[in-house]
Structure 1
């Protein structure tokens, strides 16, 4: 049996970490923040998946987690790294188009959207909304990185489609559970303050 490696290296104790390729950067570096947010998103999706009894949606979300791992590896590797060739197959148009196809298929199964939807309803739908907002946070982190360093357009497109996909997943999960969505109820205007 191979010897187990230690889970700690002590190399990060001074607030630095290594990118894939060996370059040392601060742990608050934009690149580290970006792939760290993808990890956070994957963990949030994992929390959703373990609560699902819907095998179809769970399988698609597990594929998304694999995609996010690949995206994280790409973001952890600077474009000029000599190790670019070791990256897995890069996420591309076929991947975000797959999400678009799922979006259309799932959206066709839910009632038309007539008002703003608040996170809630069935617990699984609420978790899907949490994943959606976490995806938007990750997307913003990757956009910040793209302002400073090279990021492929397919990365941003994938994350944008993913947040929409997670929104429609929330709607679908409520629908399949027979639970009404929570809708935004605007406060009535105070006639004394109306102009």
Structure 2
């Protein structure tokens, strides 16, 4: 099970969720299903890129993955997808993600949400029937489930910061992600934990 800022597997448990302005949406939105459906589309996207001439890959990477695509590695994108899909449904333990995972997932969810929100009602119902055609409030989701979005920082700005200023960006592999460095196998691995990662309210 993947660890987010709030628990995607049990939204009824107390936490720090900030509701959207639509109470019906809040009651219906299923963060786990949202992520599952979005990731399910990615095999097709990556297969499409792979079928293109290799000289166009970097352009396609940046079109479909504006931030994660900077690593310029089809292998890494495929591996991140497989790792996230596996971790999402592995119930034996909790698995912590790092900046590579969150960056890739962010690009996937932004694209899926944009396409979904512009689909007709029938198409919306085929993807997220629980929302009954309502748009996805992506900003609300990111605020509730992402620890931060430091990976969106402009590379030139980030690299110009003094060491003391960078200390506030405390995220594993942030420098590598922002600067488009391809991850190693170890950097793509999830960190397993048997400990419950959320605060228990009594």
Normalised to the residue count of structure 2, the TM-score between the two structures is: 0.31
**Highest RCO, 1 vs 2 (Cα 8 Å, sep ≥ 6):** 2
Normalised to the residue count of structure 1, the TM-score between the two structures is: 0.31
Larger radius of gyration: 1
